[in-house]
Chain A
Amino acid sequence: TENFVGHQVLRISAADEAQVDKVKDLEELEDLQLDFWRAPVHPELPIDVRVPFASLQGVKVYLESHDIDYSIMIEDLQELVDEEQLHMSRRHFM
Chain B
Amino acid sequence: PLSIETFNYASYHNLDEIYDFMDLLAAEKPSLVSKIQIGRSYEGRPINILKFSTGGVKRPAIWIDTGIHSREWVTQASGIVFAKKLLDGYGKDASVTSILDHFDIFLEIVTNPDGFAFTHSKNRMWRKTRSINSGSSCVGVDPNRNWDAGFGVAGSSGNPCSETYRGPRANSEPEVKAIVDFVKSHGNIKAFVSIHSYSQLLLYPFGYTSKKAADAQELDALAKKAVDALSSLHGTQYKYGSIITTIYQASGGTIDWTYEQGIKYSYTFELRDTGRYGFMLPASQIIPTAEETWLALKVIMEHTRDHPY
Contact = CB atoms under 8 A, between A and B. Distances in A.
A87 B12 contact: yes
Contacts of B307: none
Q: How large is the interface on A (under 10, 10 to 19, 20 to 34, 35 or more residues)?
A: 20 to 34
A74 B278 contact: yes
Interface stretch (B37-45, B117-125, B214-222): B117-125
Nearest to A34: B163
Contacts of B276: 73
* Residue from the set B124, B276, B277 with the largest chain A CB neighbour count within 10 Å: B124
Which label, helix, strand, loop or mixed, suits the secondary structure of the B interface?
loop
B8 A74 contact: no
Contact of B278 (A2, A9, A41): A9
B91 interface: no
A27 B277 CA distance: 21
Contact of B11 (A36, A42, A48, A87): A87
21 contacts: A2-B123, A30-B161, A35-B125, A36-B163, A38-B275, A41-B248, A45-B247, A48-B275, A48-B278, A73-B278, A74-B278, A80-B280, A83-B282, A84-B280, A87-B12, A87-B283, A88-B12, A88-B13, A88-B14, A88-B283, A91-B8
A26 interface: no
Given A36-B163, A41-B248, A91 B11 contact: yes
A36 B275 CA distance: 12
A17 to B, nearest CB: 13
A35 to B, nearest CB: 6
B279 interface: yes
B161 A1 contact: no
Contact of B122 (A2, A30, A83): A2
A36 B276 CA distance: 15
Nearest to A1: B122
Given A1-B122, A2-B123, A74-B278, A35 B8 contact: no
B54 interface: no
B253 to A, nearest CB: 14
A39 B280 CA distance: 17
A37 B123 CA distance: 15
Contacts of B282: 83-84, 87
Interface in B93-139: 121-125
Interface string A50-69: 10000000000000000000
A84 B283 contact: yes
A70 interface: no
B247 A41 contact: yes
Contacts of B172: none
B199 interface: yes
A67 to B, nearest CB: 21
Given A1-B121, A1-B122, A39-B248, A84 B12 contact: yes
A5 interface: no
B275 A73 contact: yes
B301 to A, nearest CB: 29
A53 to B, nearest CB: 14
Given A2-B123, A46-B275, A38 B199 contact: yes
A46 B248 CA distance: 12
A74 B161 contact: no
A45 B248 CA distance: 10
A74 B279 CA distance: 11
Nearest to B14: A88
Contacts of B123: 1-2
A32 interface: no
